[in-house]
Structure 1
């Protein structure tokens, strides 16, 4: 079957006069080497030339992030595998629609979705990626006009702009689109909601006894700082040691992240994350522990300052981190916690954001706009419209105040950040400060 491979790609320029020219070409000094560029190959070893050129178009012409390119190519790989399994060419478009490859593939995705073998959101994303590829292929004369493939229409979508105002825009859709209607109720980032107190009890208690201490610490960082997984897995000892006290909040340190720090952020946003000082100390202690030193001894020099690396001495890629969480969910389900079957790591970030927004809204003299600005900076939101959702969520669907109050006490340093949290959550006790 078709496979997705990665290649080392170095853009070249034609300069036959150059001494180092190879067949008249030399590396383009303005373009960096991309060490993991995705390309699709069929089972006979032949590349899917059109799809691979499409990837280069998105990366260089549209300036898409390499992670976005990988995601889109993984969807096209799924399509390529299906084409091979059904012995169909990607330009198989007879007169009858039901026999066309795209319409057959759409039916295949819907069948997988209805049988619970594919998430509704994934089915929609795969179909959208395939349709976008065909539109590009038609526009660049790799195929006939896209009107021959499927019918298109313009639909109106409502959305919140960067400052929270509702807007409407028209987008081009096709008859091949697979609807993905979201469940009712207000949701936060990426369509997720905070975890409940009961789920937090089970999750933290289970992880505190887990053999993988790094997984426990990474989850604690997500819950107490709101960091995304790409930020957590690239934390290094330098940014922790260079953290400095916040002038507004006691027991809180600011940790710089983003370009220039070695710590990755979504959209390469530069900013400062609020860390409880005790958590920073705990991470530094772990970095100096025998377990962490052993892991770094298996790693290359480039990872010598990373706080979290795998047991084999590798960095946590999106795939390895996803595999780690998949195994964790399987362990939780086998332990009798079946509610974690659809758990997402990002829910820990949503829980932190809810806690932070609720605490600010309770603060005397704090306006909604000031609270939004604070939470936006703390969570490195690109648009304020994302932050607005936290206020609306709190107003419409409040969650357990005791749980959020406990989390806030931990964040501000008024309670110990490790065993104390688990003890109070699991026992149901509430300790009030004098």
Structure 2
């Protein structure tokens, strides 16, 4: 099935092949042979194939740098490859070279690709945020090729884009708003993000805390229709704010250690447990943090039975 990029650039048959169990090699001058780099591994390494079925070596150099030098994840490599293949299809469809950089800026290949992205936004073929990411990644692609001297000075008579300085608003740890200077480009694609509201939690999506009434309805449902195990998982989520991956990686010894080695906090009647890091309790990004768990909930988990009706009133 052709995706939107292939349908838009009809003159290109460029595509991505994935190399499974990929380990890059290096040349050992002592043995006069190529050796595998055992410490670097990618389960699905993207390889960009041009319409003539040859490898686009510029992309291969860049993707290998991301993997080897920057140790980027497989998911990130695939995402970058999807942006690079769109640019390659554009080059083939328009019959432009990556170094087509004439004196008139609007004629340069990067500016024409920028115009293509804006056109596709208007046609509803691509979102503004995706177009913004795609343009930025193509410019970083050029930055890498230039910094590594892949192109000669003769080939780079004109620059692919103009660097500019801009300012963004930031909030300090004390709540003060200040302006920070950042690097940008004249090919930046601007878009207005969706508005955020005061009752939203932005965490991989837009989440809304339960209202007291919604919480009571949910608790009644748990009491009447679910298993004891599912109840305790949900109680832990409701009363600690922990993620499912955190809750479901608690071990029995964690609960026993809390009860035998720690006294509840007198201020709020909770136990404090360290999660993430080397605790064997998973957190997002493995970040360490303290989790406060109500004493009554620890006792309920220990006992595995009982009624919580009086505990949450």
Give the alignment's TM-score, normalised by structure 2: 0.62
Q: Which residue of 2 aligns with 1:27?
A: 36
Q: Distance in 2 between matches of 1:13 and 1:58?
A: 16
- Give the gaps of 5 or more residues in structure 2: 1-12, 222-229
Does 1:141 find its partner at 2:126?
no
Does 1:269 find its partner at 2:287?
yes
Q: Distance in 1 between matches of 2:162 and 2:175?
A: 34
Q: Which residue of 2 aligns with 1:180?
A: 191
Q: How does 1:145-160 map to 2 (within 5 A)?
A: 145=156, 147-160=158-171
Deviations 1:252-271 (A, max 9, x none): 895844568494733x4244
Bigger share in strand = 2
Q: Which residue of 2 aligns with 1:2?
A: 14
Return the match for 1:168 from 179, 195, 200: 179
Contact 2:275 2:283 in 1 (8 A): no
Bigger share in helix = 1
Q: Which has the higher contact order (CA 8 A, sep 6+)?
A: 1
Q: How does 1:292-311 map to 2 (within 5 A)?
A: none
Q: Which residue of 2 aligns with 1:194?
A: 207
Q: How does 1:239-388 map to 2 (within 5 A)?
A: 239-244=250-255, 245=258, 247-248=264-265, 256-258=275-277, 261=280, 263=282, 265-266=284-285, 268-271=286-289
Q: Distance in 1 between matches of 2:293 and 2:118?
A: 44
Q: Distance in 1 between matches of 2:196 and 2:161?
A: 34
| Count of paired positions | 265
- Give the gaps of 5 or more residues in structure 1: 209-215, 285-412, 417-430
Contact 2:132 2:190 in 1 (8 A): yes
Instruction: Please report the RMSD computed on the Cα atoms of aligned residues, expressed in angstroms.
Output: 4.6
Q: How does 1:395-406 map to 2 (within 5 A)?
A: none
Give the alignment's TM-score, normalised by structure 1: 0.47
Q: Which residue of 2 aligns with 1:296?
A: none
Return the match for 1:120 from 121, 128, 134: 128
Closer/same/farther in 2, CA of residues 146 and 135 from structure 1, 3 Å limit: farther
Contact 1:156 1:169 in 2 (8 A): yes
